[in-house]
Structure 1
């Protein structure tokens, strides 16, 4: 099953899949980063916005927010959640905006959905063109050279008479520019057990590579992946929050 087929067929489960995500804390943290590093503007675009959960919080923080995603069923849900926002179907590797943005975000490691380093580079160029001077581009990333293929994250919750279990893990073979995000969703009810599995091909980069790709466009701040405090990322960290300020 392809990435888009999974998210199209199971778009109704997406918010459940991400039920352990603290959208409010993430949005508030990036708002603080925009205040510290940015130009003070409130025009905001969320790339790979999914069902619009982050957009909802930015709207409530006073931003004029919009979202872009490659999946229409996700955008349909986002429009219901955030009727005052504009949502556009598109590829974050190549997009344009009608007006310059002050803040562009990409949460939940979705920047890795760019399929190659070339596409990632094109995405960064598109972000640069879409930002106003002094605007902030903020996203989180995982370092390919720090991935432990044995680790996985899992959580379960009850939903409409069934128990849903979600499991995700990163996998990197140790070479090349692709890694995988492995997903499994299991639905147990009194009648049957259903299971969906997929493996998403995603771009693999080190933090040194990311910094090199971003540096022609931005002043890059590599921060610890911690939405409660602002501290530099340690050299051995496996994930990070990148704050990139357009020159």
Structure 2
């Protein structure tokens, strides 16, 4: 399968695959960070927005929200979920918008979809250009040096008479700027079982390295990866939440 085959061909299952994600808690946390550190504006862009669940929450909070993604089937679902929003088919490493916004988000570790460090730098530069004065960029990351290749997340769900089992996990070979996200779906009905496997190439970076990349563009705040509490990063955790204010 191609690098995006699972997301493109099985986009109808994406929300089912992410059923355990608390989109409201994530959106509310970023809204709080924006109120604390941002410019108090209400325009928002979600990078790698997928089917638009985060955009839906930001609209409900009173934001003028929009999204972009590289998969049109995802955007079609997002447009149905959020008819008030504008969605565009763009790559987050090199995107353009007509007017600057006050808040840009990138949830679910999607910042790692940048293909290598240079593309990650391109994404950060594009975000900086797209933000208004004192605008804020929020996203979450995993530190390449903290990845446990044996650790997988698994959950199951019932849908339309079928039983689904989803697996996902990070893999890093221990050197270089490439890591991967391994995904699989198993769909079982009374008569047969189908399985899909995919491996998405992603950029590998440490949290400290990323802070240095961001410094020329932003005032950088790093927090523990906890959407219930706003706690400064302990300089040791393998996951972190970034809130970056444009300078």
Deviation at 1:5, TM superposition (A): 2.0
SS at match of 2:151: coil
Residue matched to 1:119: 119
Counterparts of 2:106 and 2:187, CA distance in 1: 29
Counterparts of 1:213 and 1:177, CA distance in 2: 14
Moved over 3 A (4+): none
**Residue-by-residue CA offset, 1:93-121 (whole Å, 9 max, x unaligned):** 00111111100000000000001100000
Residue matched to 2:204: 204
Residue matched to 1:30: 30
**Residue-by-residue CA offset, 1:12-61 (whole Å, 9 max, x unaligned):** 00001110000011001100000000000001000000000000000000
Deviation at 1:3, TM superposition (A): 2.6
Residue matched to 2:244: 244
Counterparts of 2:235 and 2:94, CA distance in 1: 31
Answering whether residue 73 of structure 2 is matched by residue 47 of structure 1, we say no
Deviation at 1:235, TM superposition (A): 2.0
Q: Confirm or deny: 8 A CA contact 2:4 2:200 kept in the other structure.
A: no
Q: Confirm or deny: 8 A CA contact 2:94 2:122 kept in the other structure.
A: yes
Counterparts of 1:64 and 1:57, CA distance in 2: 11
Deviation at 1:209, TM superposition (A): 1.0
Deviation at 1:4, TM superposition (A): 2.2
**Residue-by-residue CA offset, 1:118-143 (whole Å, 9 max, x unaligned):** 00000000000000111110000000
Counterpart mapping for 1:207-218 below 5 A: 207-218=207-218
- Unaligned 5+ runs, structure 1: none
Residue matched to 1:139: 139
Residue matched to 1:149: 149
Counterparts of 2:189 and 2:100, CA distance in 1: 49
SS at match of 2:242: strand
Answering whether residue 183 of structure 2 is matched by residue 183 of structure 1, we say yes
**Residue-by-residue CA offset, 1:129-164 (whole Å, 9 max, x unaligned):** 000111110000000000011111000011111110
Counterpart mapping for 1:4-23 below 5 A: 4-23=4-23
Taking structure 1 as the reference length, the TM-score comes to 0.99
Residue matched to 2:61: 61
**Residue-by-residue CA offset, 1:176-214 (whole Å, 9 max, x unaligned):** 000010001001111101100011110000011100110
Q: Confirm or deny: 8 A CA contact 2:5 2:198 kept in the other structure.
A: no
